[in-house]
Amino acid sequence: MTADPELFFPVGNTGPAVDQIDKAKTVCGRCTVTETCLQYALETSQDSGVWGGLSEDERRALKRRAARARRAS
């Protein structure tokens, strides 16, 4: 699968960036390594871009939920 790497790193998260994020997620939806990609992003604290089909905000929320779950157990 070939996609322009810039697609996965939109500037901002409003306006045209929202369309770019959606396009990147569409590519992720067809990718065979989405889970591995997301795991890498989480383990290496990738703060920018779309990784494993999740946006920056979605990965932050996922990390917060995981941290709350760890504290609760």
pTM for the model stands at 0.89
Tell me how far the alpha carbon of residue 43 is from its chain's centroid.
13
pLDDT of residue 9: 98
- pLDDT tens sequence for the chain (73 residues): 678 999 999 999 899 999 999 999 999 999 999 999 999 999 999 999 999 999 999 999 999 999 999 999 8
Q: Is 46 left (phi over 0), alpha (psi -120 to 50) or beta?
A: beta
- Backbone φ and ψ of 55, nearest 5°: -80, 175
Handedness of CA 19, 20, 23, 25 (dihedral sign): negative
